[in-house]
Chain A
């Protein structure tokens, strides 16, 4: 599998990362290197093997349905670059 420059540009756009056209060849090389390395895994025959998603007791622990959190607006808004009263604010987004 090999990525062309257009795909690299698209991946960057989907991830909202601004990149310079001049950086494209280097990024393309790096990403293709990573993909090529990962592709070695295809050499392993995993037919009839259940996918492993974790180690040990691989099941989700559940919590009871009780309210234990919230009412912490100051903490929640503490890292906001911009806020107005009780709200986060962001540059206007209207579709």
Chain B
């Protein structure tokens, strides 16, 4: 479905490209031995290299390079065996050296692709232009003092991957789908935690509009949007703003803007005089980064199974619907949980329970799969009791709630509460007869053609048996008598 902005003079098409800054998971920083972990005391995760002291030299962290290569492989992208580092010069108080070490002309990762899926089930491929390594900046706080800004350099020098997409995105929905998919891939790879609230993944959004068939028009860049929902909103309002400018005879200026979610508008961020002039040049402190093909192969051989492949395998191996497979692979721990439950059991029954009652229980209790009150083994044990006929599906729901409440195994609960399903046909026949004896009027109605009452009888029999009757046998017994 094409997303169009209806202007006065007809429809406009949206063109969006995203630059995602993803904080690399590593113990230490990209070019210094200071800790890269989040949330230390202010200015304690800082070396003299990060603080920009004279004479300090950067030394690159091998793991950060490996993480970039893994991400490149996960994005089906070209890995450049030789890449370089440049200085991107600008002045800001939380950038002590006055430049950011980045990769401008020779990034470590080249073109790749991400497949996204939309609500209507259609898929699209969004091109990746490049991925490069660079340093994060420190943090400024402007609200501590009337006259001064406070600077914490703990984050300064932490490795970032900037992942640049092609301008292939054509709707806010596609932008959201792209970000979710990218985050899923990064999390599977273990190269970025994808936590947008804490700022370990942020997006710069390039937006322009055009009439169908036209070349690209001038774009604006909306900086540092920190949630997927805001990215989608920012695109929507920015596109409308640009259409209004073009239609009133004006022209859009190429500029940096920020998104204000409270007022749902974008505002110009930098004056034109300060328009980007970063005066990039090769960093003389750093030689070219040369990596071996053999090392790339080794990293490739240790990559985990990625979401697309896992989803396909779940469909093929377990015979579950594509939609269910998508839900189960959305998070790796969920996929692992499901596989533990499904192994050696009916995989569809397992999928239904995991996606249905189990997810609902997590939601209700505010727990995550990592600290789930019911283990995959325990849930599997309960499914075994359903499959071997010990309990029926209805009793299973009660057993599940008990497991949730007190952590007993299904077998223990069934034993303790005597919930074993009754398969003794003598007992079932007796219960059926008792119900018929008690409801002669209903029986007469049924016999005179009110077929719907069959359900009533089933319900009454199950009730008389405290829910423990084998539903198939109860049905059978009733049919025989009626």
Chain A residues within 8 Å of B, Cβ to Cβ: 14, 16, 53-54, 58-73, 75-77, 79, 82, 84-95
Stretch at the interface among B45-53, B115-123, B203-211, B325-333: B45-53
Looking at B36-44, B177-185, B191-199, B242-250, the stretch in contact with chain A turns out to be: B36-44
Q: Contact: B149 with A66, CB < 8 Å?
A: no
B92 at interface by CB-CB < 8 Å: yes
Say if the beta carbon of B167 comes within 8 Å of chain A.
Answer: no
Known A68-B28, A90-B151, A91-B148; judge A60-B48 contact (CB<8 A). Answer: no
A66 CB contacts on chain B under 8 angstroms:
27-28, 33
Interface of A is mostly: loop
Q: What is the total of A-B residue contacts with beta carbons within 8 Å?
A: 138
| Closest-CB distance, B357 to chain A (whole angstroms) | 42
The residue on A at minimum CB distance from B273 is: A13
A residues less than 8 Å from B62 (CB atoms): 62-65
A6 to chain B, nearest CB (A): 12
- Is the CB–CB distance between B27 and A16 below 8 Å? no
If A86-B41, A92-B146 are given as contacts, then 7 extra A-B residue pairs at C-beta distance below 8 Å, sorted by A number, are: A67-B35, A76-B153, A82-B148, A86-B42, A88-B93, A92-B145, A92-B147
A61 to B65, CA, bound (A): 12
| Contact indicator B287/A63 (Cβ below 8 Å) | no
Determine the distance from Cα of A16 to Cα of B309 in the docked complex, in whole angstroms: 52
Partner of B63, one of A59, A65, A68, A70: A65
B289 touches A60 (CB 8 A): yes
Instruction: Give the Cβ gap from A39 to chain B, nearest Cβ, in Å.
Output: 17
Bound form: Cα–Cα A19–B27 in Å: 44
Total contacting residues, chain B, CB less than 8 A? 53
Q: How far is the CA of A77 from the CA of B152 in the complex (A)?
A: 11
Contact assessment for B28 and A92 in the assembled complex, using a CB-CB cutoff below 8 Å: no
**B286 on interface, CB distance cutoff 8 Å:** yes
Question: With A67-B34, A84-B150 known to touch, is A90 a contact of B43 (CB < 8 Å)?
Answer: no
Q: Which residue of A lies closest to B83 (CB)?
A: A60
- 14 A-B pairs within 8 Å (CB atoms) are namely A53-B84, A58-B288, A60-B289, A62-B59, A64-B63, A69-B28, A69-B48, A70-B34, A76-B43, A86-B41, A88-B43, A88-B151, A89-B148, A91-B149
User: A61–B59 contact, CB under 8 A?
Assistant: yes
| Interface membership of B269, Cβ < 8 A | yes
Distance of B96 from chain A, by nearest CB (Å): 9
Q: Does B365 touch A at the CB level, under 8 Å?
A: no
Knowing A71-B44, A76-B46 are in contact, say whether A92-B84 is a contact too (CB < 8 A).
Answer: no
B46 touches A63 (CB 8 A): no
In the assembled complex, the Cα of A37 lies from the Cα of B42 at a distance in Å of 48
| Chain A residues within an 8 Å CB radius of B220 | none
B282 nearest CB neighbor, chain A only? A53
A63 lies within 8 A of B61 (CB): yes
Known contacts A62-B62, A73-B46; is A84 also within 8 Å of B286 by CB? no
Contact status B43-A73, CB under 8 Å? yes
- For A88, list chain B residues within 8 Å (CB): 43, 93, 150-153
Give chain B interface residues in 112-157, CB to chain A under 8 Å: 140-142, 144-153
Measured in the bound complex, the distance between the Cα atoms of B27 and A5 in whole Å is 49
Cα-based distance from A95 to B269 in the complex (angstroms): 7
Nearest B residue to A88 via CB reads B151
A75 to B150 alpha-carbon distance, docked (Å): 17
B33 touches A94 (CB 8 A): no
Residues of B near A69 (CB, < 8 A) are 28, 32-34, 47-49
A73 to chain B, nearest CB (A): 5
Return the 7 tightest CB-CB contacts between A and B, nearest first.
A68-B33, A65-B63, A69-B33, A70-B34, A69-B47, A62-B62, A59-B290
* Interface contact B61-A92, CB-CB below 8 Å: no
Contacts of B141 in A (CB 8 A): 87
Most chain A CB inside 10 Å of its own CB: which residue of B34, B53, B65, B282: B34
Q: B60 near A87 (CB under 8 angstroms)?
A: no
